[in-house]
Structure 1
Amino acid sequence: MSGFYSWTDTLKGVYYGPGSTTTALPKLLNTLGIKKALVVTGTSLYNKTDIVKKVEDILRGHDAYGATFYEIGQHSPIAGIRRGMETFKVHQCDGIVTVGGGSPIDAAKAILYNLQLETGGPTLSQIAIPTTLSAAEYSIGAGYTDDLGNKVAVSSHALAPAGIILDAELTLATPERLWLSTGIRALDHAVETLYRPLVPIPVKVLSYAALADLFTYLPQSKANPQDVDIRQKLQVASWMSLWPLKLEKYSALGLSHALGHKLGATYGIPHGITSCLTLGPTVALKADIASQEDKELLAKSLFYLRQPSTGSIDGDVLKLSSLIKTLVADLGLQSNLEEYKVPPEDLPKVASRALGSEDDPNHARVVRMLQGIYSSK
């Protein structure tokens, strides 16, 4: 047994707890030396809630408010990123405070990445205050959509947010479907971390803990959407699902994520929903194509879910797939590719792009898997 662990270079602190933004944000501003912050958020949060105003007021109270940029759409279109960069420069900001889900958090990373390319100086800091469970705040990568609608990825250890605040009170306005579907996105992270290459053993154990908590608390949150304690537990589960991690060399998460990236931007499917579509079927496919070690890691999930074994490793992997599909259904998140107007003739191309080549030995299996989720619920 051997391996390596380190956390992301930038991370200076994660604060969590209902109402924690009031005290945590000033601490992080001081730790990171941010004097004038650009608030990056989405249109709905800005126009339909008072959450962004609360953050702005805290920044103003510490003379650290620069401006607010809220023209961030789903999948972070490049046009919005360019406008965000201009706003950052016009107001002479020196850091970003992001409020929202994966799209604004990734957009902030892309803004900081491109600003660094312009200046040649250090990458400036982001403080992330997530309002969904997508866990974008823990990664070093940023995905955004180019002028042609294609998903573009940039990656740098300097891009991971330097401060994170998990304040469940600020998630209460998050629409139910977005909240629950990004919870399945976090489940996707947890499951695919189990067979992600180079991930150290303690992080895999955290993934099992995340998986168990997501199965427990997502249905409870649907039943009691105003219960802040449950929402706080889900935010911590999301954190465990994609624990801050610095690998010695890059390794991708897995097929469900790869399919989600190719489907999401091209066909306008939210990433939480792509995970609802692809995770269960991907786990079922693993019973056929995964290594014995990876199958054993997936099968072990049943222990953490307090579910009895079927008596075989392959059977246990298939049972995990079935449990995921049942959870998605119980949360009211079932959908299919036909609903999102994905042309059936595009499925081989989606598979090729996710796998990296149509010559991949599993290409035909993945195409059949996609056909299976095309019109079924």
Structure 2
Amino acid sequence: MSAESNLHGSYAYTDTLKGVFYGPGSVKTALPKLLDMLGAKKALIVTGKSLFNKTDVVKTVESILRERDAYGATFHDIGEHAPVAGIRAGLQKFKDAGADVIVSVGGGSPVDASKAILYFLHQERGGAYVPQIAIPTTLSAAEYTVGAGYTNEEGQKVGVNAPELAPSGIILDAELTLATPERLWLSTGIRALDHAVENLYRPLLPPPIKHLCYAALADLFKYLPASKADPLDLEARQKLQIASWMSLWPLKLPKYSALGLSHLLGHKLGATYGIPHGITSCLTLASVVALKAETASKEDKEWLAGALFYLRKPSTGSLEGDIKQLSVEIQQLVDGLGLHSTLSQYKVPQNDVQTVADRAVGKEDPLFPKVVGLLESIYA
């Protein structure tokens, strides 16, 4: 039996994370509590332009910090996919503010950019890593990982990785998500679904975490349509934030373990063609799951097929049939949320399909022709 079988493994929580606080309105009490836990005196807020300019969310966080005399500055020049120029500018802002903690507010880009800023700072100064408190307003779940992706000068997605880069505190306050644009909110929910599904066949992941992913799947399928139907439903939004947490539960693996093909394709498509993180999952996830019905190991097929039970859907009578049905259910959810997308819609040249497949798996991989076919199937 393989040493990476589900019957062998280990589990540990991340060393860095001090606490996840959740509930509508929780930022008012949780942020001061986390500052005390970390002994932090001066914060740099890292956020995006839209959240800063078009909502009161950042002002709410600023006012809490000002009451504690812990406000240093706000940096909002973070673009989608975290371009490296913004990271360098954020690092300088951190130094100028005399900050000793970053409070990231927004989606995956501010969270990942904050990790990258702290990584670059550590490269310069050494010593202990400076902590981050993450206040997410989307469902992308970047706050639960130890790695960060950013876009280099050539437009390629690159990454940094260290256990200490995981945020030290996370605040899930559904009230702060009310200003998030619907398409961003719902599409990052599909990103969370992507995490939950790909964790079912992710190497080294222990079975208890996979069962959390089943729970995440069930809640995402239930509460994403509910949130679309009533955008002011705070209970649905809070349930979705918790489902996002369950989809990418913080853990320490014995060695690096990538999620899967849907994420791999998403990384190649997102940075190169400017496709938002959530939309890349809308593009690729259902098709990747259908491909898994052909290519996955028996053990991985069993985990994928098991998802139908949690979605309260009857079995088709075979593992492969159940996985194909899961693919259909995912695509129907995406379409029902108004998120159906194509590569041509995002101006990906059709001639680039083989290049994307090559960057994702390599031409020598036996899977290469199937990945090309997958990309061609979602082109138009």
Normalising TM by the smaller chain, what interval? over 0.9
Q: How does 1:127-146 map to 2 (within 5 A)?
A: 127-146=133-152
> 1:113-171: per-residue Cα shift (whole Å, max 9, x none)?
00000001211000000000000000011000111111011111010000000000000
Which residue of the other structure, out of 162, 166, 172, is the alignment partner of 1:166?
Answer: 172
Confirm or deny that 1:310 pairs with 2:332. Answer: no
Q: Partner residue of 1:239?
A: 245
- Which residue of the partner structure matches residue 336 of structure 1? 342
Distance 1:221 1:308 in 2: 25
> Which of 146, 149, 155 is equivalent to 1:149?
155
Aligned counterparts of 1:91 and 1:331: Cα–Cα separation in 2: 42
Residues of 2 paired with 1:240 and 1:145: CA distance?
27
Paired residue for 1:15? 21
What secondary structure does 1:360 align onto?
coil
Displacement of 1:2 after TM fit?
Answer: 2.5
- The equivalent position to 1:124 in structure 2, one of 123, 130, 147, is 130
1:62-73 equivalences in 2 (<5 Å): 62-73=68-79
Find out whether 1:360 has 2:365 as its counterpart: yes
For 1:46 and 1:323, the matched residues in 2 are separated by 36
Note the residue ranges of structure 1 that are not aligned, 5 or more in a row. Answer: none
> Where does residue 180 of structure 1 map in the other structure?
186
Question: How far, CA to CA, are the matches of 2:176 and 2:13 in structure 1?
Answer: 26
CA distance in 1 between partners of 2:98 and 2:282 (Å): 41
Q: Within 5 A, what are the aligned runs for 1:75-224?
A: 75-224=81-230
* Structure 1 SS opposite 2:105: strand
State the shift of 1:106 in Å.
0.3
How far apart, in 2, do the equivalents of 1:347 and 1:140 lie? 30
Identity of aligned pairs, percent? Answer: 69
- 5 Å-filtered alignment, 1:226-305, equals 226-305=232-311
Alignment of 1:23-34 (within 5 A): 23-34=29-40
CA–CA distance in structure 2, aligned partners of residues 156 and 350 of structure 1: 27
Deviation at 1:59, TM superposition (A): 0.5
2-side partners of 1:166 and 1:91: how far apart? 26
Question: Which amino acid letter does the alignment assign opposite residue 218 of structure 2?
Answer: A
What is the aligned partner in structure 2 of residue 371 from structure 1? 376
| Matched residue SS, 1:127 | strand
Displacement after TM superposition at 1:285 (Å) = 0.3
Question: Once the two structures are superposed, what CA deviation does each residue of 1:39-90 show, in whole Å capped at 9, x if it has no partner?
Answer: 0000011011111011011001111111000000000001100100000001
Q: Distance in 1 between matches of 2:13 and 2:360?
A: 27
Which residue is equivalent to 2:12? 6
Aligned to 1:225, what secondary structure does the other structure show?
coil
In the alignment, structure 2 segments of 5+ residues that lack a partner are 1-6
**Which residue pairs with 2:4 in the alignment?**
none
Once residues 371 and 92 of structure 1 are traced to their aligned partners in structure 2, the CA distance between those partners, rounded to angstroms, is 50
Q: Which amino acid aligns with 1:192?
A: E
For residue 231 of structure 2, give the secondary structure of its aligned residue in structure 1.
Answer: coil
Query: Secondary structure of 1:4's partner?
Result: coil
> More displaced, 338-347 or 271-280?
338-347
SS at match of 1:269: coil
Letter in structure 2 aligned against 1:46: F
> How far apart, in 2, do the equivalents of 1:201 and 1:315 lie?
23
Question: What is the CA–CA distance in structure 1 between the aligned matches of 2:235 and 2:293, rounded to whole Å?
Answer: 36
CA RMSD of aligned residues (A): 0.5
Cα distance in structure 1, aligned partners of 2:89 and 2:245:
30
Superposition deviation, residue 253 in structure 1: 0.2
Q: Give aligned pairs, total.
A: 374
Compare 162-171 and 344-353 and name the one that shifted more: 344-353
